[in-house]
Every structure is written in C-alpha cells, then in structure tokens.
Amino acid sequence: MSTASRLPGIVTTDHYFQVPLDHHAADGEQIEVYGREVVASGREHDDLPWLLFLQGGPGGKAGRPLGRDTWLERALDDYRVLLLDQRGTGRSTPANRQTLARRGGPHQQADYLALFRADSIVRDAELIRRRLLGDEGRWSLLGQSFGGFCTLTYLSLAPEGLREAFVTGGLAGLRSSADDVYRAAYPRVARKNAAHYARYPHDVAAVRRIASHLVKAPARLPDGGLLTVQAFQGLGMLLGSGTGSHSLHYLLEEAWVEGVHGPELSDTFLAGVQAQLSFAQGPLYAVLHESIYGQRSVEPAATAWAAERVRKEFPEFDAEQALESDRPVLFTGEMIYPWLFETDPALQPLRDTAQLLAERADWPDLYEPERLAANEVPVVAAVYHDDMYVDTDDSLETARAVKGLRTWVTNEWEHDGLRVSGGAVLDRLIKMARGEL
C-alpha cells in the first residue's frame, strides 16, 4: 500500500517491491526493496519522465528529503524521482547485526550478503522499472559515487531500460582490482592530509598529541567502542568532502578538558568521533566494501583485506612511526580494515562473516567492456579532479571505454558536489546530455 506525504514543495509516495533475493532463482526467497517517489507539488498528475537515484555506498540508503532541497531542486523541474533504498538498507529488508543473526552462522550470512552487490541492485531496479513504467518504459538514472559504479553495471546488464544516465564521482575502473584501487588511493589521501595541514598548521601538533595519548591509552566511546590510534586515523574520511577539513579541525579544537587527574579527552570530542566512525547506521559499507571490486576476470583471488595489505607499502600512514619522528600523523580515508570488526560494537558480531567475504574468491564480473564499448545510451559524468574516493585516472580511462560518454572534469567541487551544489552539478550534466554545453 502506497502512502503519500506533503513536504515543502514536494509530494512523496512510498513504494514497496518484492524482489528475489537471488535473481538467478526468481521463484526462491523474496526480500523487500523500498523506493520513495518524489514529485514537485502541483505536478503529481503530470506525465513526467522518471529519474532513478542510486546512492553512494555500498550499503547507503537514499537521502531523506526535507523538501525541495539539494539536487532535487533541479531534478524536480523535469523529472519524477525515485529514491531507492538499495537492498539491505533503510526501509528495504535490512541487513545488520540484528537481522543477519536470524539467518544462521557466518557462512549463511556471508552467502546471503554475497547477493548484495551492484549486479543484484541493478536487477532489482529493472524489476521495479517494469512494474512502474511497463516493459517498454525507460527511465533516466543518476548514480552518485557507488551509485555510479552501479550505473556502469546497469549499462552492462540492461541498457535497454535507460534513456540517459548521469554519474557524479562514480566512474569505477573497469579493470581495477581491490589492490589497484587502494594502491592509487593512499597517495590521494596523503595529498588531502597535506592540504588540511597547510590550511590548519596547528592541527599537526593537535593530532600528534591525541595520537600519542591513544597509543598509550585507547579511549572508550559512548557506545562502548574502542578508539585506538588507528581508529582515530579513520577520521580522514572527512577530508574527501567539501567542508570535511573544516569539520575535522573544529572537532579537534574541543578534544581536551581538564579532569580530576589532569587533561583527558572530552565527552564532546568522543561523541563527535563516534558520530563519524560508527558503522551502526551503515554496517554493509564495512562488510561489503572490498567485495564491490571483486571480478573474476580481473582478479579471481580473494580481496583478502586489500586496504590493510596495501597499507604496508605506505609507511607514512604508520602513526607510531610518525610519533617517533617529527612527521605529521596522517589520517586514512575510504579504507576498511579487519580490526574495525574488533573495535566497533555494530560490527563485532559480523567479524567472522566479514572474514569469509574477504576470503571469498571468483566473484562474478560486474562490467561488460564489450557492451560498454558499443553503448548507445547517452551518458554524462562529473569527474572530480583528485577525488579522494574515486581515482581520477581510473574514471577517465573508463570514460574512454564507454562509447559516447562525456565527462566534465572539475575541481570546483569535491566528492559531495551533487549534494552541496544546490543543483548546479546536476544542472550542468542535464545541459550536457541535451547538447546545450
């Protein structure tokens, strides 16, 4: 049953779809996928083209609109939008430590989650398209970050369902293994660190002080999680967004208070750190992250905690070595490490499941280069220069491999440009798709 709501400038309608857990066994177990239809107020009954939005992640639910805000400001001029909670997220059948326990042990959980990659998300979307638009209906697609990865999978598996595609910060390397991804990522993250410390030079000493304290005495976060120096370095995730460097600086400003026994990390700081580092609201991001790069034709072996292995090639990220010298302590970025499943209470019950997924080999391919080379769907992409999360060289190589794909390379925005640009990023892509630019 669909439920409609009115917010400032928009009307939203809830949709629930039953889809196969395994699309290769369509008559087997079913799960639910939720989508929120959004249309401009007063246009509910207009015959508008549909725009499917695929959120970043993996394991990210679609944004919750407060009205005609962020990129919806531009999209709703032309489209009826479907914000999809990808399988396992948001109001779709959830996958987290609470629900996965019902499926059995780690082996059963890992087999279940192996069906939550981009290929399954695309097949979900195709079933939903046919139910909303009919077999012959086509919709437009907007993929942000991991949603862009899914867009490439869509163009590989079911381009007949698309009339056009927009990608923001999400052109994956078609032939990049997990090792390749992280080997390229660490230098980008180091550059973001350098830019942060150039902007806030006093943070060098502030970070060293906190790191030195955590080496000697890891702190407890409000949820019971353990803040080690390696976990503290994970705050570097902030450095890939437009305002993240500033947010990190302001968090560091309030790190210390004078307690009964002298200086100690403040509750304000620890609560802020927890808000950034906890995976309670998105555990699939941690559990599935490296598997999104698994493709048997690229690397048939397991991903095997690639970020952790490759990190050893970049000793500048070793906090304890930095503290023994006069070097800045570097933050890390979009890396998932096995010890996260020891320190984060939301992930601890999924430790063995994550290990099994890390050991899993022979992942099915997600992209079909030959089909992409013959692509007929109009595709435009914003490529953010020196994007911390997605390698620019990989993105441009992929752009050359997809027939007809046009890119806009910019350093005006960071990875979150779609969300924070007030519709400007999407507006430019729409104009490019229409031949106006």
Give the torsion through C-alpha atoms of 280, 286, 292, 297, to 10 deg.
-150
Q: Could you tell me if 75 and 425 are in contact, meaning their C-beta atoms sit under 8 angstroms apart?
A: no
CA–CA distances in Å: residue 312 to residues 232, 316, 354, 372, 428: 18, 9, 21, 35, 41
Choose, from 362, 385, 386, 393, the residue flagged as catalytic.
Answer: 362
354's tokens: 């994550």
Cα(336)–Cα(340) distance, integer angstroms: 7
Residues of the chain above pLDDT 70, percent = 100
Mean pLDDT in residue range 187-207: 98
Q: What six digits make up the tokens of 180?
A: 């390749």
Active site residue 14: no
Decide if 415 is catalytic: yes
Residue 2: per-residue pLDDT: 66
Q: For residues 172 and 58, give the distance between their C-alpha atoms in angstroms, rounded to a whole number.
A: 13
3-class secondary structure, 84 = strand
Buried b (16+ CB within 10 A) or exposed e, 338-372: eebbebbebbebbbebbbbbbebeebeebbbeeeb
Q: What is the pTM of this model?
A: 0.96
Please name every residue paired with 32 in a beta bridge, in sequence order, or none if there are none.
18
The DSSP letter of residue 52 is: E
What confidence tier does 14 reach under pLDDT thresholds 50, 70, 90?
very high
What are the pLDDT digits (tens) for 55-91? 999 999 999 999 999 999 999 999 999 999 999 999 9
Which residues sit opposite 94 in a β-bridge?
88
Q: Has 85 been annotated as catalytic?
A: no
Q: Which residue in the list 196, 213, 289, 415 is annotated as catalytic?
A: 415
Residue 103: both structure tokens together = 């499926």
Residue 130: which residues within 8 A CB-CB, separation 6 or more? 137
- In this prediction, residue 3 carries a pLDDT of 80
Contact (Cβ atoms closer than 8 angstroms) between residue 110 and residue 59 = no
Q: What's the rounded Cα separation, in Å, for the pair 139 and 161?
A: 7
| Mean pLDDT of all residues in 175-201 | 98
- Please report the DSSP string for 283-298 in residue order: HHHHHHTGGGG--TTT
pLDDT tens for each residue of 205-259: 999 999 999 999 999 999 999 999 999 999 999 999 999 999 999 999 999 999 9
Residue 159 DSSP code: G
Beta carbons of 429 and 144 less than 8 angstroms apart: no
Domain-wise residue ranges, the chain: 4-174+367-433, 178-359
Instruction: Name the DSSP class of 365.
Output: P
| Dihedral over Cα of 103, 104, 105, 107: its sign | negative
The residue-averaged pLDDT of 157-175 equals 98
Q: Which amino acid is at 186?
A: Y
Residue 237: DSSP 8-state: G
* CATH number of the 4-174+367-433 domain: 3.40.50.1820
CB 316 within 8 Å of CB 388: no
Cross-strand bridge partners of residue 52: 82, 141
**Dmax of the chain from CA atoms?**
71
Which one is catalytic: 92, 120, 140, 145? 145
- Element housing 18 (H / E): strand 10-20
What spatial distance separates the first Cα and last Cα of the chain, rounded to whole Å?
42
- Whether 164 contacts 377, CB under 8 Å: yes
Q: What is the pLDDT of residues 299-358, one digit of tens each?
A: 999 999 999 999 999 999 999 999 999 999 999 999 999 999 999 999 999 999 999 999
Residue 166 has pLDDT above 90, yes or no: yes
